[in-house]
Amino acid sequence: MGTVPIARPLPIAIAIQSFHPGGTERQMIELVRRLDPTSWQVHVACFSTDGAWFPQVESAAASIGAFPLRGFARTDTLRQARRFGAWCRERSITLVHTSDLYTNIFFLPSAAAAGVPVRLGSRREFAAGKSRAQVVVQRASYACAHRVVANAHAVAERLVRERLAADRIAVVPNGLDGSRFIARDLPPALRQVAMVANLRPGKGQDVLIDAAPAILQRYPDARFTLIGGGTERPVLEARARERGVAHAFQLEGHVEDVARRLGEADLCVLPSDSEAFPNALLEAMAAGLPVVASRVGGVLEVVQHERTGLLVPPRDPHALATEMLRLMSDPQLARGIAAAGREFVLRRFSFDRMVSAFEHLYLDEVARRVPVRPVESRYAPL
């Protein structure tokens, strides 16, 4: 059968858990907002419309469907799956793209059962913090996806180790809006340290607290700002008191205008146990800050040691303090690393580049699986 032109715009659905601030939510919401509306009619499926970022999606999406779940083992889950299938058929959804573990588990099988022609899953993290049952169920959900999109090559390698065929994996790195970040001249004395990460186990705020005494011994006027909310705040506050450094730490909680707060810092650290792809580092480097980060996962795709940042082993407060003190005692080194890091991320990780990669992936998969001639991308091939 010959191909025929497809009507513009093509109806697709992007699945997000909710609209609370977070790294995955930021990436997917920007994708919803930036896909060309003359080519794509973007619908959004979610479990809940809760969250401060809901208005951004509400103004950009063609429609938003909420399919609340109280647990995957409950009898209502099947009813919600049927509702989602009907929602897709009513809108003639051609492609469903999920964003994380829970949307993979629910929306990929539901889309397959509904006969959605193209189904894309996502993997934006490692298995850290996930139960064995969650990991097993997510792997099973990938059977319902034509491709699984990893946000870093390190994540793609993990998927291969989990026995997902390499030709079913696509890599699309995260993006950022470089225009939000204005680099300032670093001061002669680098004393303001920022860390942007949710306050949860494994992100490494405890490592920074443990490194702080050595830094304060040499530079008593150093100050540390932790940006991000989470359940570990009381634990971290207690740890800072125990180490005698509470006076030097400020826990800001969630901050909407991260770019402005980074503009007030002199350097940024991210001593995580693991990272799939570090949005916080991208933003810090775009803001013209020198960075120190753990030598883990997707960090290695952003930070080149002694060129675009400094790397340290995870869970090593002594190494973290040593490399931070290198920057604080050598402003020329800090400025060189900051300039190289900013140039690197602005060139490699723009939102335009991310959206272009997704758009070409969508077009390729539609062309493979739908008997129509798809729309042409407004972006040049990468």
Q: 177 pLDDT band (50/70/90 cuts)?
A: very high
Please indicate, yes or no, whether residues 72 and 138 belong to a single structural domain of this protein.
yes
The string of pLDDT tens digits covering residues 46-94 is 999 999 999 999 999 999 999 999 877 677 899 999 999 999 999 999 9
Mean pLDDT of 4-8: 57
Q: Decide: helix, strand or coil at residue 287.
A: coil
Which residues are CB-neighbours of 139 under 8 A, at least 6 positions away? 162, 163, 164
Encoded amino acid at 373, one letter:
R
SS3 content of the chain, % helix, strand, coil (to 5): 45, 20, 40
Q: Could you give the percent of the chain with pLDDT greater than 70?
A: 94
Q: What DSSP letter does each residue of 242-284 carry, written as one string?
A: HTT-GGGEEEEE--S-HHHHHTT-SEEEE--S--SS-HHHHHH
Across-strand partners of 43?
13, 63
Task: Give the pLDDT of residue 3.
Answer: 44
Which residues are CB-neighbours of 54 under 8 A, at least 6 positions away? 19
Q: Tell me the pTM.
A: 0.86
Residue 374 lies in a domain: no
Higher pLDDT, 258 or 21: 258
Please indicate, yes or no, whether residues 86 and 197 belong to a single structural domain of this protein.
no
Mean pLDDT of 318-323: 98
Residue 381 lies in a domain: no
Across-strand partners of 66?
46
Please indicate, yes or no, whether residues 142 and 187 belong to a single structural domain of this protein.
no
Residue 4 lies in a domain: no
User: Has residue 370 got a pLDDT over 60?
Assistant: yes
Mean pLDDT of 255-273: 94
Dihedral (CA of 344, 286, 254, 358) sign: negative
Place of tokens 């064995």: 132
Q: Decide: helix, strand or coil at residue 61.
A: coil
Please indicate, yes or no, whether residues 83 and 195 belong to a single structural domain of this protein.
no
Mean pLDDT of 10-15: 98
Please indicate, yes or no, whether residues 167 and 24 belong to a single structural domain of this protein.
yes
Mean pLDDT of 190-218: 97
On whether the CB atoms of residues 231 and 195 are closer than 8 A, the answer is no
Report the mean per-residue pLDDT for the chain: 93
Cα separation, 54 vs 238, in Å, equals 34
Phi, psi values for residue 253, rounded to 5°: 75, -165
User: Has residue 145 got a pLDDT over 70?
Assistant: yes
Task: Give the pLDDT of residue 291.
Answer: 98
User: Has residue 1 got a pLDDT over 80?
Assistant: no
Mean pLDDT of 315-328: 98
Cα separation, 239 vs 206, in Å, equals 7
Mean pLDDT of 323-348: 97
Please indicate, yes or no, whether residues 16 and 109 belong to a single structural domain of this protein.
yes
Cβ neighbours around 187 below 10 Å, total:
10
Query: What's the CATH code of the domain at 321?
Result: 3.40.50.2000
Mean pLDDT of 122-130: 79
Residue 51 lies in a domain: yes
Max intra-chain CA distance, the chain: 76
Task: Give the pLDDT of residue 372.
Answer: 58
Residue 109 lies in a domain: yes
Q: Could you give the percent of the chain with pLDDT greater than 90?
A: 85
Task: Give the pLDDT of residue 379.
Answer: 58
Domain with 195, as residue range(s), is 178-348
Place of tokens 């994996």: 169
Please indicate, yes or no, whether residues 43 and 25 belong to a single structural domain of this protein.
yes
Please indicate, yes or no, whether residues 40 and 157 belong to a single structural domain of this protein.
yes
Encoded amino acid at 366, one letter:
V
Please indicate, yes or no, whether residues 45 and 140 belong to a single structural domain of this protein.
yes
Of the listed ranges 117-131, 281-295, 318-332, 337-351, the least confidently predicted one is 117-131
Task: Give the pLDDT of residue 223.
Answer: 98
Mean pLDDT of 287-292: 98
Cα separation, 381 vs 309, in Å, equals 30
Encoded amino acid at 289, one letter:
L
Of the listed ranges 154-163, 208-217, 239-248, 318-327, the least confidently predicted one is 154-163
Please indicate, yes or no, whether residues 203 and 157 belong to a single structural domain of this protein.
no
Please indicate, yes or no, whether residues 302 and 329 belong to a single structural domain of this protein.
yes
Please indicate, yes or no, whether residues 103 and 230 belong to a single structural domain of this protein.
no
Q: 373 pLDDT band (50/70/90 cuts)?
A: low
Task: Give the pLDDT of residue 4.
Answer: 41
Task: Give the pLDDT of residue 254.
Answer: 87
On whether the CB atoms of residues 262 and 277 are closer than 8 A, the answer is no
Encoded amino acid at 64, one letter:
I
Mean pLDDT of 309-313: 98
Cα separation, 294 vs 271, in Å, equals 5
Residue 377 lies in a domain: no
Where is mean pLDDT largest: 128-132, 252-256, 357-361? 357-361
Residue 382 lies in a domain: no
User: Has residue 378 got a pLDDT over 90?
Assistant: no
Mean pLDDT of 186-196: 97
Residue 380 lies in a domain: no
Task: Give the pLDDT of residue 75.
Answer: 77
Report the number of distinct structural domains present in the chain.
2
Task: Give the pLDDT of residue 110.
Answer: 98
Task: Give the pLDDT of residue 133.
Answer: 85
